[in-house]
Amino acid sequence: MSPATRMVVFTAALVLAACGRKAPPLPPELVRPEPAEDLVAAVVADGVRLTWQRPLRYSGGQRMNDLDHFVIDRAPAEAARPTFVHVGRFDLDDQTRFRKERHIEWVDHDVVPGGRYLYRVLAITLDGYESAPAGPVSVQYRAAAAPPSGAP
Protein backbone atom coordinates (compact mmCIF):
# COMPACT_ATOMS: atom_id res chain seq x y z
CA MET A 1 0.00 0.00 0.00
CA SER A 2 1.42 3.39 -0.99
CA PRO A 3 1.95 6.10 1.64
CA ALA A 4 -0.74 8.26 0.01
CA THR A 5 -3.28 5.40 0.19
CA ARG A 6 -2.39 4.73 3.83
CA MET A 7 -2.90 8.40 4.64
CA VAL A 8 -6.33 8.42 2.96
CA VAL A 9 -7.40 5.24 4.80
CA PHE A 10 -6.12 6.60 8.13
CA THR A 11 -7.91 9.94 7.63
CA ALA A 12 -11.17 8.21 6.66
CA ALA A 13 -10.98 5.94 9.74
CA LEU A 14 -10.31 8.93 11.97
CA VAL A 15 -13.25 10.89 10.54
CA LEU A 16 -15.62 7.93 10.85
CA ALA A 17 -14.57 7.24 14.43
CA ALA A 18 -15.30 10.81 15.49
CA CYS A 19 -18.43 11.28 13.39
CA GLY A 20 -21.53 12.53 15.23
CA ARG A 21 -20.30 12.29 18.80
CA LYS A 22 -18.98 15.37 20.51
CA ALA A 23 -20.26 14.86 24.03
CA PRO A 24 -22.63 12.59 25.89
CA PRO A 25 -26.30 13.52 25.42
CA LEU A 26 -27.87 15.76 28.05
CA PRO A 27 -31.19 14.93 29.71
CA PRO A 28 -34.04 17.27 28.70
CA GLU A 29 -34.35 18.83 32.14
CA LEU A 30 -30.83 20.27 31.78
CA VAL A 31 -31.49 21.97 28.42
CA ARG A 32 -34.82 23.53 29.30
CA PRO A 33 -34.57 27.30 29.60
CA GLU A 34 -34.93 28.83 33.03
CA PRO A 35 -38.28 30.61 33.46
CA ALA A 36 -38.59 34.28 32.57
CA GLU A 37 -37.92 36.58 35.53
CA ASP A 38 -39.78 39.54 37.05
CA LEU A 39 -43.09 39.05 35.22
CA VAL A 40 -45.28 42.13 35.80
CA ALA A 41 -48.75 42.97 34.43
CA ALA A 42 -49.89 46.59 34.25
CA VAL A 43 -52.99 48.25 32.85
CA VAL A 44 -52.29 50.67 30.00
CA ALA A 45 -54.68 52.70 27.84
CA ASP A 46 -54.95 50.06 25.10
CA GLY A 47 -54.79 46.83 27.12
CA VAL A 48 -52.62 44.95 29.61
CA ARG A 49 -48.85 45.34 29.29
CA LEU A 50 -46.69 42.42 30.39
CA THR A 51 -43.00 42.93 31.04
CA TRP A 52 -40.38 40.37 31.98
CA GLN A 53 -36.67 39.63 31.90
CA ARG A 54 -35.32 37.11 29.44
CA PRO A 55 -33.64 34.01 30.93
CA LEU A 56 -29.96 33.73 30.06
CA ARG A 57 -29.28 30.15 31.17
CA TYR A 58 -30.61 26.65 30.86
CA SER A 59 -32.03 25.03 33.98
CA GLY A 60 -28.78 23.04 34.14
CA GLY A 61 -26.80 26.28 34.55
CA GLN A 62 -25.15 26.53 31.12
CA ARG A 63 -25.33 29.79 29.17
CA MET A 64 -28.16 29.73 26.62
CA ASN A 65 -27.84 31.02 23.03
CA ASP A 66 -30.80 29.35 21.31
CA LEU A 67 -33.85 30.98 22.89
CA ASP A 68 -36.39 31.33 20.06
CA HIS A 69 -39.61 32.82 21.41
CA PHE A 70 -41.97 33.30 24.32
CA VAL A 71 -45.55 32.07 24.56
CA ILE A 72 -48.01 34.21 26.51
CA ASP A 73 -50.95 32.41 28.15
CA ARG A 74 -54.03 33.95 29.75
CA ALA A 75 -56.86 32.62 31.93
CA PRO A 76 -59.86 34.21 33.62
CA ALA A 77 -58.87 35.05 37.20
CA GLU A 78 -62.27 34.06 38.63
CA ALA A 79 -61.88 30.35 37.84
CA ALA A 80 -61.09 28.07 40.79
CA ARG A 81 -58.79 26.05 38.50
CA PRO A 82 -57.73 28.40 35.72
CA THR A 83 -57.43 27.02 32.21
CA PHE A 84 -54.73 28.91 30.35
CA VAL A 85 -54.93 29.48 26.59
CA HIS A 86 -52.27 30.88 24.27
CA VAL A 87 -53.01 34.53 23.51
CA GLY A 88 -49.69 35.65 22.11
CA ARG A 89 -46.20 34.89 20.94
CA PHE A 90 -43.11 37.07 21.14
CA ASP A 91 -40.43 36.03 18.63
CA LEU A 92 -36.76 36.75 19.22
CA ASP A 93 -34.36 37.55 16.41
CA ASP A 94 -31.18 38.21 18.34
CA GLN A 95 -29.74 34.69 18.75
CA THR A 96 -26.58 35.62 16.85
CA ARG A 97 -26.03 39.00 18.49
CA PHE A 98 -23.41 39.29 21.21
CA ARG A 99 -25.69 41.41 23.38
CA LYS A 100 -29.17 39.97 23.69
CA GLU A 101 -32.27 42.02 24.46
CA ARG A 102 -32.94 41.39 28.16
CA HIS A 103 -36.13 43.38 28.84
CA ILE A 104 -39.22 42.11 26.99
CA GLU A 105 -42.57 43.89 26.69
CA TRP A 106 -45.85 42.68 25.14
CA VAL A 107 -49.39 44.17 25.20
CA ASP A 108 -52.64 42.17 25.25
CA HIS A 109 -55.18 44.31 23.39
CA ASP A 110 -57.95 41.70 23.55
CA VAL A 111 -59.27 42.54 27.02
CA VAL A 112 -62.63 43.84 28.24
CA PRO A 113 -63.18 46.55 30.88
CA GLY A 114 -63.68 45.00 34.30
CA GLY A 115 -62.14 41.70 33.21
CA ARG A 116 -59.76 40.00 35.67
CA TYR A 117 -57.00 37.98 34.08
CA LEU A 118 -54.12 35.70 34.99
CA TYR A 119 -51.06 35.66 32.75
CA ARG A 120 -48.06 33.38 32.49
CA VAL A 121 -45.08 33.33 30.12
CA LEU A 122 -43.09 30.35 28.81
CA ALA A 123 -39.67 30.51 27.14
CA ILE A 124 -39.11 28.17 24.16
CA THR A 125 -35.76 27.22 22.56
CA LEU A 126 -35.10 26.62 18.86
CA ASP A 127 -35.31 22.86 19.59
CA GLY A 128 -38.73 23.25 21.22
CA TYR A 129 -37.66 22.85 24.85
CA GLU A 130 -40.08 24.72 27.10
CA SER A 131 -39.38 26.44 30.41
CA ALA A 132 -41.52 26.18 33.48
CA PRO A 133 -44.06 29.01 33.40
CA ALA A 134 -43.24 32.41 34.86
CA GLY A 135 -46.24 33.65 36.83
CA PRO A 136 -49.10 33.64 37.06
CA VAL A 137 -49.66 37.34 37.63
CA SER A 138 -53.13 38.78 38.13
CA VAL A 139 -54.57 42.04 36.82
CA GLN A 140 -57.98 43.67 36.42
CA TYR A 141 -58.38 45.72 33.26
CA ARG A 142 -60.02 49.10 33.70
CA ALA A 143 -60.22 51.10 30.49
CA ALA A 144 -58.92 54.65 30.59
CA ALA A 145 -61.64 57.24 31.10
CA ALA A 146 -62.83 58.93 27.91
CA PRO A 147 -61.85 62.58 27.58
CA PRO A 148 -64.64 65.00 28.52
CA SER A 149 -66.84 66.11 25.65
CA GLY A 150 -65.74 69.38 24.14
CA ALA A 151 -62.12 68.76 25.17
CA PRO A 152 -59.55 69.78 22.54
Per-residue pLDDT at 6:
73
pLDDT band at 144 (very low <50, low <70, confident <90, very high): low
pLDDT band at 13 (very low <50, low <70, confident <90, very high): low
Helix, strand or coil, per DSSP, at residue 139: strand
Phi/psi for 94 (5° steps) reads: -115, 25
User: pLDDT tens for residues 63-121?
Assistant: 888 899 999 999 999 888 999 999 999 999 876 555 667 899 999 999 999 999 999 99
Domains belonging to the chain, first-starting first, are 32-140 (2.60.40.10)
Between CA 51 and CA 40 the distance in angstroms is 5
pTM confidence score: 0.75
Pairing verdict, β 116-125 and 134-140: antiparallel
Q: Average pLDDT of the chain?
A: 84
Q: What letter represents residue 101's amino acid?
A: E
Mean pLDDT confidence for 41-67 = 93
